[in-house]
């Protein structure tokens, strides 16, 4: 798995890198077929003198690409929301994959199901 963490208008400290990596362990625990992860952390200076912290992630896995972003006043809060959203999407994708694998048996014609059970007996 390739992990790329970049910062726009932000200096990435080792603490931020470590925090993102520790949070991504949760994603790896649910789904280990991840090929590439790109995390972009951004600080936007708005004219209202508010700083907006934005975190984005592009997750490339076999058969699907996921893009998630979150915005908060604190960078760590933005990362937490980002990982929560990504976790929900990964779990949803994983259940879809598992459901499709089991749906094939249900789609057999009724005659072949009867023949299959009769030959098994």
Mean pLDDT, residues 48-74: 87
Q: Return the C-alpha torsion angle 27, 34, 38, 1, nearest 10.
A: 110
Q: What percent of the chain has pLDDT over 90?
A: 42
pLDDT value at 121 more than 70: no
pTM attached to this predicted model: 0.75
Task: Assess whether pLDDT exceeds 80 at residue 30.
Answer: no
User: Looking at residue 2, what is its pLDDT?
Assistant: 87
Whether residue 67 is contained in a domain is answered as yes
The domain tally of the chain equals: 1
Query: Strands 34-45 and 2-8, how do they pair?
Result: parallel
What CA–CA distance (Å, rounded) separates 82 from 77?
8
Q: Which two tokens stand for residue 62?
A: 């076999």
pLDDT for position 114 = 60
Q: Which domain holds residue 67?
A: 2-93
Domain harbouring 39, CATH code: 3.30.160.100
Q: For 87-107, what is each residue's pLDDT tens digit?
A: 999 888 888 888 766 655 555
For residue 14, give the 3-state DSSP assignment.
helix
pLDDT number for residue 31:
76
What pLDDT shows up at residue 32? 75
State the Cα–Cα distance between residues 91 and 96, nearest whole angstrom: 9
Q: What is the pLDDT of residue 1?
A: 76
């Amino acid at each position: 798995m390739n992990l790329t963490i970049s910062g726009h208008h932000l200096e990435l400290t080792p603490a931020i890198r470590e925090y993102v990596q520790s949070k991504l362990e949760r994603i790896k625990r649910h789904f280990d077929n991840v090929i590439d992860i790109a995390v972009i952390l951004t600080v936007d200076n708005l004219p209202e003198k508010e700083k907006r912290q934005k975190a984005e992630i592009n997750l490339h896995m076999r058969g699907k690409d996921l893009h998630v972003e979150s915005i908060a006043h604190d960078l760590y809060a933005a990362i937490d929301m980002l990982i929560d959203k990504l976790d929900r999407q990964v779990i949803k994708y994983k259940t879809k994959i598992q459901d499709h694998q089991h749906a094939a048996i249900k789609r057999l014609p009724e005659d072949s199901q009867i023949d299959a059970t009769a030959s098994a007996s």
